[in-house]
Amino acid sequence: MKIGIVGGGGRMGQMLIRQVARTDGATLAGVTDREGAPALGQDAGLLAGLGPLGVPVTADPVALFAAADAVIDFTSPAATPLHAKLAAEHQTALIVGTTGLDEAAEEALAVAALSTPILQAPNMSLGVVLLSALVERVARSLDIDWDIEIVEMHHRHKVDAPSGTALALGQAAARGRNVDLADQSVRSRDGFTGPRTPGTIGFATLRGGDVIGDHTVTFAGQGERIELSHKAQSRDIFAAGAVRAALWCSGRSPGRYTMTDVLGLDQ
Ligand SMILES: NC(=O)C1=CN([C@@H]2O[C@H](COP(=O)(O)OP(=O)(O)OC[C@H]3O[C@@H](n4cnc5c(N)ncnc54)[C@H](OP(=O)(O)O)[C@@H]3O)[C@@H](O)[C@H]2O)C=CC1
Ligand SMILES: O=C(O)C1=N[C@H](C(=O)O)C[C@H](O)C1
């Protein structure tokens, strides 16, 4: 399968170049980065710390989507809608790891999914897919006397908050409780907040250093507490999941897919 990477100069982009290069059955169709980005013109292999691959980084996503069977997008919310449109036009599968997408970007993915496979996951690791299933199950088992709080910590460069994974874990908890997260979420607290409103799902965000991604969902009851955690120790887990997802998309019908589909897990 010919796999293209958009945002190849980024933290995840470089991991993805390495992952494609070492995966049987995958070849690098091309790599793009933002117009004006320092990575432009460089050999993608050298950029990613490998030997030369003979694939230059360009700012031409049209050519990339024309050449690739699947494209992996870990870029920015502003970039993803164009990638969705190009995926639909070229019937190229699109694997979206980018988080912090707004409604317009989500809508662009929904439209593209009418023409091509769109696989979206705020966290491509096996561990977080399992964590999410566990959170839903525990939330279903406990009544609202158990307060749910979600804490995440990421590196100092992260630009969106709460993380896409934290929000997805909140969605899992809300599904388990059979409530709408939008009605129940408390995204920040500051000053004289008053006591906690029963049934709400709270989020707290920490940023610092080079933390790759830690998530903990706490169910706080009377006299006891359950904590479910995942800690990413390497970005390799996200890149491996994304390339696995791209290969899984080969021959799939247009539509929206998640890592749960790729891993064949029952929710
Ligand atoms: N789903 C998952 O498993 C994971 C998701 N993520 C998400 O992936 C995204 C990227 O994270 P990370 O790699 O750390 O971020 P980086 O900022 O390191 O990388 C993003 C890259 O995309 C480039 N870019 C921006 N706009 C465009 C564009 N229009 N076309 C092509 N490239 C573009 C950036 O260029 P420039 O820097 O020049 O602007 C940069 O090279 C984030 O949303 C993050 O939350 C991260 C890890 C795991
Ligand atoms: O920006 C990151 O780095 C990460 N972002 C994703 C998120 O927002 O959940 C996934 C991972 O935790 C790393």
Give me ligand 2 centre to Cα 164, in Å: 6
**Superfamily of the domain at 126-232:** Dihydrodipicolinate Reductase; domain 2 (3.30.360.10)
pLDDT of residue 12: 98
Nearest atom within ligand 1 for CA of residue 123: 3
* H/E run at residue 53: none
Q: How does pLDDT run across 190-242, given as a tens digit for each residue?
A: 999 999 999 999 999 999 999 999 999 999 999 999 999 999 999 999 999 99
The per-residue pLDDT for range 154-176, each reduced to its tens digit, is 999 999 999 999 999 999 999 99
For residue 265, the model assigns a pLDDT of: 81
Whose C-alpha lies nearest to ligand 2, atom 10?
Answer: 123
Domain boundaries, the chain: 2-120+235-263, 126-232
**CA gap 155, 185 in Å, rounded:** 24
Cβ-count burial 196-226 (b if 16+ within 10 Å, e if not): eeeeebbbbbeeeeebbbbbbbbbeeeeeee
Contact 120, 100 (CB under 8 A): no
pLDDT band for 63, please (50, 70, 90 cuts). very high
Question: Domain 2-120+235-263: which topology?
Answer: Rossmann fold (3.40.50)
164 labelled ligand-binding = yes
Q: pTM of the entire structure?
A: 0.97
Structure ipTM: 0.99
Separation CA 201–CA 221 (nearest Å): 14
Does residue 266 have a pLDDT over 80? no
Q: Average pLDDT, stretch 45-57?
A: 97
Instruction: Quote the percentage of the chain above a pLDDT of 90.
Output: 99
CA 159–ligand 1 middle distance (angstroms) = 10
pLDDT higher than 70, residue 3? yes
Tokens of 85: 């449109």
Helices and strands in the chain: count of H runs, count of E runs: 10, 12
Residue with the two structure tokens 């199950």: 137
pLDDT score at 167: 98
Around Cβ 173, how many Cβ atoms within 10 Å? 26
- Going by pLDDT thresholds of 50, 70 and 90, the confidence category of residue 54 is very high
